[in-house]
Amino acid sequence: MTDLYPSTKYVRRLTAANGWRRELIPDRHGRPVAIVAVRAGPRWTDSVAIEGEDRTVAMRHRTRDDRLTLPSEPDPVGAALWRRDGRCEDVLAELLELPTQ
């Protein structure tokens, strides 16, 4: 099987078996515009928004049991520990190399 895009080998790792939950986000006409994926572990919560090969954003936050931490919160405790915005292949390669424990 060939990779259609440079990021394909990384996107294929965003599976439930690897702890990821993902959704395809459509526009109001039902056309897909982004893939959003989240992996919540005991220590880190990773999130990814893939708009295309040239635009992907990924973040890592500390997992907090008491409530959901949103990236928009002004609280420094909720601030991202790691954040990247760029080409899908580059962002996912870096994210998937971060320790999971």
Q: What pLDDT score was predicted for residue 71?
A: 55
Q: Are 43 and 65 in contact (CB under 8 A)?
A: no
Q: Give 44-64 pLDDT, tens digit per residue.
A: 899 999 999 999 999 998 887
Q: Give 9-58 pLDDT, tens digit per residue.
A: 999 999 999 999 999 999 999 999 999 999 998 888 999 999 999 999 99
Q: What pLDDT score was predicted for residue 55?
A: 95
This prediction has a pTM of 0.81
Long-range CB contact pairs, 62-71, < 8 A, 24+:
69/45, 71/47
- What is the three-class DSSP state of 101? coil
For residue 68, give the DSSP letter: P
